[in-house]
Amino acid sequence: MKNILLMCSAGMSTSIMVKNMREAATKINAEVNIKAIPEQSLSQNLVGTDIILLGPQVGFLLEDTRAIAKDIPVRVIDTMDYGTMNGEKILRQTLDILGVK
């Protein structure tokens, strides 16, 4: 089971993305736990996290997030994929980064 953390500013659009990614995970039989958090909660949510995905609206926090996350990979979600809420594509890319086939 891989733990994916999505970080955003307010959370509304990210909750939709989490829903779409969970549906995609069911469709492709991927064992993942996907959670959305506001940027202020990052430090309290690192334990057990395998990867952190930043919504494009908080992409400017990439380097700060990497510094806090230490060895946890951090990526910014592509603006087009985020805007179209393409949960399956984002999930597949994330699993590739994590080496899950």
The set of catalytic residues is 8
CB 32, CB 3: distance < 8 Å: yes
CA angle in degrees (0–180, nearest 5) for 68-88-95 = 50
**H or E segment and range at residue 74:** strand 74-76
Dist. CA 64–CA 81, nearest whole Å? 23
